[in-house]
Amino acid sequence: MLLSDLSFYENGELLGLERSLAVVSDTPQTSSQWLLEWLCDKESLFVSFCRDKPKVAGEFLDLGEDLIRMSGPNFIKPDLKVVLAKIMAFNKRTVVLQYPTLLLMANLTDHAGLLNFIKSLLVKSRVVVAVQLSRPSIESQLPVSQEFTQFVTSLMHQASLILTIRPVPTGRADDITGILHVSAGSRSLGVPEREYMYTIGKHIELQPR
């Protein structure tokens, strides 16, 4: 099947009702950009915190250069209220946040501040949050890793839809790029759990596992 044939909810919806939260997780060995780009329609805003420029039908806001910039040896802490106002001014039905956890890893905010930031966006929009999971970021006892873990755990608990991208378990496969796992978050009952093998080529193709 092609990516255009995919739906996540039993009623055919992709991202659920208004003000719903979806979480997309990938790993250092995989990329969720293809999925994030596909989820963006003309009524969407794609917000990047890592300076990756996507190919999207909607609008794009690059916050990587604005937020993660150096002032001598230290990062300048952003005013998240200003960032929030900038995003909400677009007045889009769906907001996609690509790797906002970079703010945590750079000690620019804490997990509570980032969760409140996302909660404020949910007042007017559906929100898709992309996070990258790695063993060091989760298992480390460093304070920044603990903040990361608390954020991701809380985010998953609040989500209606969870999309997980991971490598194939046997390592490299010429005909398979990775695995997409679809599951319901704690706030949704309309998402059947399922899994697809996907291949990125001229077109993105999926095969149910």
- Supply the DSSP string of 126-190, one letter for each residue: EEEEEEE--HHHHH--SHHHHHHHHHHHHHHHH-SEEEEEE--TTS-BTTB-EEEEEEE-TT-SS
Kindly indicate the confidence band of residue 68, based on its pLDDT and cuts at 50, 70 and 90.
Answer: low
Mean pLDDT of 68-74: 52
- Torsion sign (Cα): 65, 140, 131, 150: negative
| pTM score | 0.90
Residue 73 has pLDDT above 70, yes or no: no
Kindly indicate the confidence band of residue 142, based on its pLDDT and cuts at 50, 70 and 90.
Answer: confident
Share of the chain above pLDDT 70, in %: 89
Mean pLDDT of 98-109: 86
Mean pLDDT of 66-90: 72
What is the predicted pLDDT for the residue at 72? 44
Kindly indicate the confidence band of residue 12, based on its pLDDT and cuts at 50, 70 and 90.
Answer: confident
Kindly indicate the confidence band of residue 70, based on its pLDDT and cuts at 50, 70 and 90.
Answer: very low
- For the beta carbon of residue 65, count every other beta carbon within 10 angstroms: 10
Query: Which among 186, 208, 182 has a CA at the least distance from the CA of 14?
Result: 182
Mean pLDDT of 120-139: 87
Residue 171 has pLDDT above 90, yes or no: no
Residue 187 has pLDDT above 90, yes or no: no
Instruction: Judge whether 138 and 145 are in contact, CB under 8 Å.
Output: yes
Look at domain 3-208 and name its CATH class: alpha beta
Strand, helix or coil for residue 59: strand
Which residues have CB under 8 Å from 32's CB, separation 6+? 24, 25, 26, 130, 163, 165
Tell me the per-residue pLDDT of 31-49, one tens digit each, with 9 for 90 and over.
999 999 999 999 999 999 8
